Chain A
Amino acid sequence: MHRFWAVLFSLVPVLGIGLYVLAVVGKGSIGGFSLAGLWLPENANPYTTTIDHLFDLVHIICGVVLGITTSVLAYVIWRYADHAGRKNEAAQYVTHHALLEWIWTVIPGAILVFLGFYQLQVWADNKMNRPMQTIDGNIQAIEPMALVVGKQFGWEVYYPGPDGRLGTSDDLRIENDLTVPVGRPVVLRVEAQDVLHSFAIPGLRVKQDVVPGMTQLVWFQVDKPGTYEILCMELCGWGHYKMRARMKAVAEPLDGIANGSSTEPSSTATPVADEEVKD
């Protein structure tokens, strides 16, 4: 019987790591369900490729640790379980082993400290260092191109109107529809009107909780034209699941409402790829 349990426990590292590998490789299928598309979705944001890199790195480290520890667990059951065959074999009397303990304190500790410092730059790039641009020889932080306000249950997008400034009476508002340019840094101001929401775009690895009474900035760059989903990722009430918007990344110059040249959305239904860009 102990062999049975040993085999069961050995499934933990085998399947645990195996399924991950299959998912990363994105091939094969289980029970008719394809494993493709189970890992990180495509990332179109160059600011966050390092996040994907960290995600993979930590998974590799963790996978190694998982493999070692759970394999040992399965092995001890196989080897050391009490059964009729080892009636005369007593358990070893070992209370501690200083060297071993130092090894498994220092090595994981070193790895963890390394991870801690290794990630700081990525954190800073995404949450602290707002992208800069050069205007007339002066380097300055990029100003937000639009204001996105979360409310129950949707995202209101405000573009500066003809005067080019946010927060004036000619601002143009549209629900759940954001248009941004491709290939250059975009800064958005995000706010909440009523309760907590979270401005999240999984396809760009962007996420920022928005808190009523606070103003936050998010920035990213979209390198691939297309349509992305903006989701709310902080429980905001019964309609939480309904709260999603569309973000279209198009080549410049923007047209329609995003450019302040029209009061109607540039196109309500046509996919971006088919869209003719006009002046």
Chain B
Amino acid sequence: MKNRHHTPRRRFLQAGFATIALPALEAFGAPEPPPNRARTFVAIGAYLGWHAPAFYPKQTGAGYQIPPLLEPLAEHRDHFTIFSGLDHRAPNGHDAWNNFLCGKTPGSYSLDQMMADRIGQQSRFPSIHLIAGASEHTNGRQISYTKEGVPLPEIERPSVLYKRLFMSQADRARVEYVLTSGKSALDDVVADAKRLEAELPASDRAKLGEYFESVRGVERRMSRQIETIDDPLPQPDYKLPETDPITPNLMMEAEQVLYDLMALAIQTESTRVLTFGLYGLGQVFTIDGQPLSAGYHALSHHGNDPGMVRDLVKLERSHMRQLAGFLRQLREKKDAHGRPLLDSTIVLTGTGMGDASRHSNRDLPTLVAGGGFKHGRHIAIDQQAPNAPLLGDLYVTLMQRLGMEIGEFSNASRNLNQLFA
């Protein structure tokens, strides 16, 4: 019954192996990155896609007229770039949705994890994964996959994210107990395992050697965590809502709170890689006092019916309003060097589904904000052209902007540095 597989309210300490807090190697206020170098990456993916005709401007280049879906973002116009015509040539269907960050092969090493493995390791959280609006199990449709192809759990509750980021004293005492008693359990286990080992032939001892080696690895990590448990943590003054807005029709409220916390996480340099999944099923939203004519998923299957499309765009604009608020915070908040956070934060907004009405994963609406790029244009890619660039080529450019020396992603082995810098 409880198969949504998200982190329960009480489980803020463990659960989710990639998101266990590590002591930060770099203290708050890390050296100022050189210009043309971003520090943080945020990916926002809409499970049911973005309605392309309302997302893409009619004109290309800088003088485009803002399309209806992006109107809420108008104030940030000079801080983002719209891409049309890009995709991963991935298979179609809901189940292939995770091609968004995985590329051509759904469920393979995702962009954010490539980044987390290379640049995420210095911060307390190598990466943070969030979701809003999920009313069913999302197994197999997660955004993020490790190098080994393991989907990573997503946090849905603001209260859990908050506790992870900014532990209270009581929480810390608990974590310290968890770590010290955990280490002692391992010590005890090793002592017993040694007695077992003595009974075994040489060939089996090698197998058990793996076991001892692994235990030592975990102990080392735990020791480091124990040593730094009292290091000062940022304690922002933020008031969480009384109830976690996890019911799917409170999705917009959840987005707002999670965006607030994401901005705080970036400001406190708690992590350098964040993903945020915008999910959707049957929830019927009331927007500007008007209930929409159908549930989110039903609207996405609009079949080009004008009424359905109108409501779908209304709904997606509501997502964009939340995103605009996030970008505003990133522009207003400053890093330790007095620069707006957005200058060093790449915000990629996109989807793995180009047209939910047809379950097509071609031509994925994509928007990149911040990161120190030159923005303000609509870059239209002609998919039919020979050697047309792929979405992966844009991802290579994003990775390079983060200082990663990497030249390929999934089926892409070029970049868009010429078009977009």
Task: Specify whether A and B are partners.
Answer: no
